[in-house]
Amino acid sequence: MVNKTVHDLIIVGAGPAALSAAIYTAREDIDTLLIEKGAIGGLAAVTDWVDNYPGFAKGIAGLDLSEEMRKQTERFGAKFELDEVLKISSEDGLHKLKMHSGDVYAKAVLIATGSDYRKIGVPGEAEFYARGVHYCATCDGAFYRGKKLVIVGGGNSAVQESMFLTKFASFLDILVRGPKFRASDVLQHELEKHKDKITAHFNTSTDEIVGENGHVTKVVGTDKTTGQKVEFLADGVFVFVGLDPNSGFLAGSGVELDEHKFVKSDVHSMTTVPGIFVAGDVRSGATMQIASASGEGATAALMIREYLNEMNKEGTASVKIEQ
């Protein structure tokens, strides 16, 4: 028989929502463990520049913001573990999280896994992933100094990241599926300042990414106004078409998802499983903003505190379990 420690709270993920929640819970001496399979800070850590996070009048690099939040979280005593949660199950008021390194247990769980870059699913996308096809301008833009790029997408991220990529690339073609950008007016106005390096092609689909000798050479699309095939020479392709929630590990957990696989919750940030909460971009109805994710994390932390207080009064779970 081996004793297994039950944590008060395990947070799955380490993005802004998770870090904000951990600041609140750890500061109140709630035993808090964050489990992250990738980078601490999530997508915020690979965002070039955050211009609309309160408290930073001149803006702040996403990596710097993430690092400051991590330091603050650790200052209050929260712990981090780099691993991947594969499955969650619940029994007798406790939650078991299955990971590569083994099982861990918690009285409460916060799902704050965020979202990941959406794929377009065309021929060549998977074949040339990380060899000409990318989803993170901050991570991979510097590889394309003096090169030609194709950008796929027409929303805020596509426009913002295209402007960032002008620091490196000699020219960018933006392929927009619809008749106009979906990006904010502010970003579109900023884009005008880069028209010497950027050309937008509206009503243009992305049909295939073509390459030779392991490297991307062009993108083939269709001009939907004429029905004609069009080709764009490119050394690399950056895809910015939205985000998909990181919720696959919740299959069989009893946590209900919406039609797009985002996690449903009530007004107390709790999912359909008592003791499992959700915050940030993985939550159904989230606004996909760093500031709102941080706010959701703080709100969830307060709800979790109340839940744990009630749980401790009732004595639902002991501090140790045996296997």
Residue 1 pLDDT exceeds 50: no
Residues 96 and 128 in one domain: no
CATH assignment of the domain containing 26: 3.50.50.60
Between 264 and 139, where is the model more confident?
A: 264
Q: How confident is the model at residue 2 (pLDDT cuts 50, 70, 90)?
A: very low
Residues 109 and 206 in one domain: no
- DSSP letter at 144 equals G
Which amino acid is residue 323, in one-letter code?
A: Q
Q: pLDDT averaged over the chain? A: 93
Residues 199 and 253 in one domain: no
Residue 322 pLDDT exceeds 50: no
**253-308: pLDDT as tens digits:** 999 999 999 999 999 999 999 999 999 999 999 988 899 999 999 999 999 999 99
In terms of DSSP bridges, do strands 3-12 and 320-322 run parallel, antiparallel, or are they unpaired?
Answer: antiparallel
Q: Residue 56 has which token pair?
A: 């930073």
Tell me how far apart the alpha carbons of residues 289 and 280 are, in angstroms, rounded to a whole number.
8
Residue 52 pLDDT exceeds 70: yes
Residues 184 and 247 in one domain: no
Give residue 283's pLDDT. Answer: 97
* For the chain, percent of residues with pLDDT exceeding 90: 84
Residues 235 and 134 in one domain: yes
Query: What is the mean predicted confidence (pLDDT) over 122-148?
Result: 93
Which of 239, 272, 292 is a domain's end point?
239
Query: What's 65-85 look like in SS3?
Result: HHHHHHHHHHHCCCEEEECCE
Give residue 3's pLDDT. Answer: 58
Rounded (to 5) percent helix, strand, coil in the chain: 25, 35, 40
- Comparing 13-22, 42-51, 220-229, the range with the smallest average pLDDT is 42-51
Residues 87 and 154 in one domain: no
Which of 239, 273, 301 is a domain's end point?
239
Cβ atoms of 25 and 305 within 8 Å: the answer is yes
Residues with Cβ within 8 Å of 226's Cβ and at least 6 positions away in sequence, in order, are none
Which residue in the block uniquely carries the two structure tokens 């884009």? Answer: 191
Residue 108 pLDDT exceeds 50: yes
Which of 239, 259, 293 is a domain's end point?
239
β partners of residue 220: 208, 231
Residues 174 and 102 in one domain: no
Tell me how far apart the alpha carbons of residues 24 and 12 are, in angstroms, rounded to a whole number.
16
Structural domain for 137, as ranges: 119-239
Residues 86 and 100 in one domain: yes
Tell me how far apart the alpha carbons of residues 247 and 261 are, in angstroms, rounded to a whole number.
7
Query: What is the mean predicted confidence (pLDDT) over 240-248?
Result: 94
DSSP letters for 22-40: HHHHHHTT--EEEEESS-T
Residues 107 and 155 in one domain: no
CA 256, distance to chain mean position in Å, is 20
Query: What is the mean predicted confidence (pLDDT) over 35-43?
Result: 92
Pick left, alpha or beta for residue 17 (phi over 0 → left; psi -120 to 50 → alpha; otherwise beta).
Answer: alpha
Q: What is the domain count for the chain?
A: 2
